[in-house]
Amino acid sequence: MTIVRTRFAPSPTGNFHIGGIRTALFSWAYARHFNGIFILRIEDTDINRSTLSATQAIINGMKWLGLNYDEGPFYQTKRINRYFEIINNLLSSGFAYYCYSSIEEIELLRKKQRSSGEKPRYNRIWRPEPGKILPSIPINRKPVIRFKNPLYGDTTWNDLIKGKITISNKELDDLVIVRSDGIPTYNFCAAIDDWDMKITHVIRGDDHINNTPRQINILKALRVTLPFYGHLPMIIDSNKIKISKRKEAADIMYYKKKGFLPEAILNYLARLGWSHGNAETFSIKQFCYWFSDFKHLSKSPAQFNLKKLEWLNNFYIKSYDDQKLLSLIQPIIKKRKNIKYNTLNLLKIISLFKNRITTLTELADIIIIFYSTPKLHTELLKKYITDIIKLALVECILQFSNITWEKQILNITLKKILEKFKLNMPQLAMPLRIILLNKLQTPSIDLILSLFNRNIVLDRIKNAIKSLNNI
């Protein structure tokens, strides 16, 4: 039985795109389901746009998400000798030829074709044919090498996702397989790589559909076994526009910085255009077990929904124990603020707030407020503090200075203050929430107070009263 071999082959020319991650995920999960091989290949022949930083971002992103590869990373720029071995074979067998048309000549040709309503394409002036006399070779002009695409017939494949696709060979140009600078092009390299690496299933975005017949024809010219092809619909934003590779919010590392968990990212992307019954939350192990074919993948574009991703992230954050969250939060806090904290208190804060946030950075922001004074929201305070409330806050300073600092005693003390000034709990709790956390909604105020250092509470109340007196 043939071993399933899939690949993820990104080009390092921009952010590590969230659409690329989804492609990698489906390729990886399919290989894992069948105990196959998953390969990482870096398609870096676009030398002017490929960067080492983008390459490293791909490797780091795969590692962070846990999408481990069995072979690679392979780099196309290190396989140039192999490509020219095949190119020379194609030249000698008549499946490729040198083309000396200049860029200016090609552009002028295309301009004329557009003006006359024709589809722009190369006119095959340098394509050798029996009895054809080729133009004289221009002096000092470096040629490209073109693949001799079939002039007639169709190229057909049964797409794993979209079904049968047929493209007329008349619609295809004679593809440039080596540029004038001597670098082989993407379509040629990808086809040869898939052959050499024994790829059985090519799973990629549907923006590659037009590349597939070109690659199939190259492989047919070499008389090799074709892989199966499957093309995933693109990811679109709320405006139904394809998410750009160069937008920050499309970068997978952006979500890491924002405090999203790998489990949430993978769970969300797995459900983006795929389903297994009504299952919304599932482990990556469960997904690999279910993903045995491509029948449940949508043929239509999948719309990215940040709110749904945040909901999933909250789900996974809540599933983590407090100690594990602490280990994830500490590096974030260290980067944001140099604060001294009590680890036991930190665990209590995490336990209290992890159900109320959607990202790790939100949780870090809340923790920092407990140890680093935030800018006072005076406009909000003015809305909730009356003269009587101000007196009650002064009383809080007096009472809080001499009590045992624990939730139960704080609750009793607050009730005494409320009784003295004939107030209800929300009237006093709301200003205290704003003073301490700059928030209108928090868990019970006595619990919040107990998590703070007593002196921090007293200082913040004093500063709030002083600020209001100066307005």
Which residue in the block uniquely carries the two structure tokens 């006119």?
Answer: 123
In the predicted structure, residue 194 carries a pLDDT above the cut 90: yes
**328 and 192 belong to one structural domain:** no
Q: State whether 314 and 329 are in the same domain.
A: no
**pTM of the full predicted structure?**
0.90
What does the buried/exposed string (b/e) look like for 291-304 if buried means 16 or more CB atoms within 10 Å of the residue's CB? beebeebeeebbeb
- Please report which confidence band the pLDDT of residue 435 belongs to, taking 50, 70 and 90 as the band edges: very high
For residue 122, the model assigns a pLDDT of: 93
Q: Per residue in 310-326, pLDDT tens?
A: 999 999 999 999 999 99
The CATH number of the domain holding residue 452 is 1.10.10.350
Q: Do 213 and 276 have their domain in common? A: yes
Looking at the structure, tell me whether residues 280 and 337 fall in a common domain: no
19-37 exposure pattern, b = at least 16 Cβ within 10 A, e = fewer: bbbbbbbbbbbbbbbbebb
Do 286 and 158 fall within a single domain?
A: yes
> Could you tell me if 344 and 255 lie in one domain?
no
Looking at the structure of the chain, the number of domains it has is: 3
Q: Which CATH number do you get for residue 267?
A: 3.40.50.620
Measure the CA–CA gap between 7 and 179, rounded to whole angstroms.
25
For the record, the structure tokens of 439 come out as 């928030």
Which residue range is the domain that position 281 belongs to?
1-93+152-168+182-319
Q: Tell me what pLDDT residue 384 has.
A: 85
**Please, what sign has the CA dihedral across residues 181, 187, 190, 193?**
negative
Domain boundary among the residues 303, 336, 371 is at 371
pLDDT in tens, 90-131: 999 999 999 999 999 999 999 999 999 888 989 999 999 999
Name the token pair of 433.
């929430």
User: At a CB cut-off of 8 Å and minimum separation 6, what does 82 contact?
Assistant: 192, 196
105 assigned to some structural domain: no
| pLDDT at residue 339, rounded to an integer | 75
Is 299 one of the annotated binding-site residues? no
Residue 140 has pLDDT above 80, yes or no: yes
Compute the distance between CA of residue 368 and CA of residue 201 in angstroms, rounded to an integer.
48
